[in-house]
Structure 1
Amino acid sequence: MADRLAVLGDAAIEVLAEHGMRGLTHRAVDTAAALPAGSTSYYARTREALLELALTRMAELDEGELPQVQDTASVAKLTAAFLHASITTGRTRTLARYEFALEATRRPVLREIYDRIGATYRTQLKASMAALGSPEPDRHARLVMAWCEGVMFDSLAGTGAATPPTLAELELSTAELLRTLLG
């Protein structure tokens, strides 16, 4: 069953990224997953359950992607690698994440799940900032997270989409940001 849920979750993420929230239907997920009609609705009876399935799958796929604290240079390098992957090989998942962010503003149940998942990242980032010597780890974690979100959005949907940053540019920018915050 877990394998089938992963297949359906992956297909739902693809559908979201390609067709947006309005294109996410049980039938579209069945088609994207190359499964018989009705397969998705067997596991996720309602639209809300389908959204939860996809969001939960995104959280599973993202698990462990935040860098472990070592020093500022290695955190900058790992964060840049995460950002670069998010706008290249992980583009589909990032686009789906933005669809969820917007939908969560209208659906309290999704907001709860989205915020719970986001809190995990924020907590890890706060701990990293504290370990790196930040005098204000809460504020600095919020700033770094907002900067990362901005870079990803600009690179995928904003005016920077035509020329997204290279890995080297992201490494340099991330290191500069961390140096500025941490002194």
Structure 2
Amino acid sequence: MADSILDTTSGPVELRRSPLAATAAGVAEAGAGGGGVRLAERPFTTMVGLRVVPGSTAADAIGAVLGAPLPAGVGEVTGEGDHRTLWLGPDEWLVVSDGSREELLSRLRAAAEGPGVAIVDVSANRTVLELEGPAARSVLDKGCPADLHPRAFGAGRAITTTLARVPVLLWQTGEQTYRLLPRSSYAEYVAAWLLDAAQEFLEPVG
């Protein structure tokens, strides 16, 4: 995994550095090793923070752009296609998208603006770590106080919690797949902790 991207194809040169640049080799090895768990970074994911009054005309307009109403309660995730929206609070959400950051921001701001509406690019605020495999929950249980048993948590749910005492957004995207969204300043620590916690489940590369 490259630790930076240099784009010279058009316009000004853009140099972006992954928050996990220093641990890139370890994360890449964990992703290739197989075994009971795999770890990978999804760098430079588009993320947009939303603040709006629930049920308002602006909230409905934002939901129309995203393809689904904004989540209404704790743990809920809505969306389709490239966009998923995670509930953060009664009037706060995080949109995580595989699409263009500029296009998404433009469409959201065109649909809803004015007093009481905040649409902010927070893509650089966090990175995304994906942990998957039959042992993924066992790894997380070593450092996460939340009950991740299927009776309490499952695919399509996301919560704010801690991992190894660090605040993270934890989003279960599949039966054995989790995405962790730590703030960029904590990303290397979280990745290093996951690599250590997963050692017993990893198969050596080569």
TM-score, normalising length: structure 2: 0.26
Q: Which has the higher strand share?
A: 2
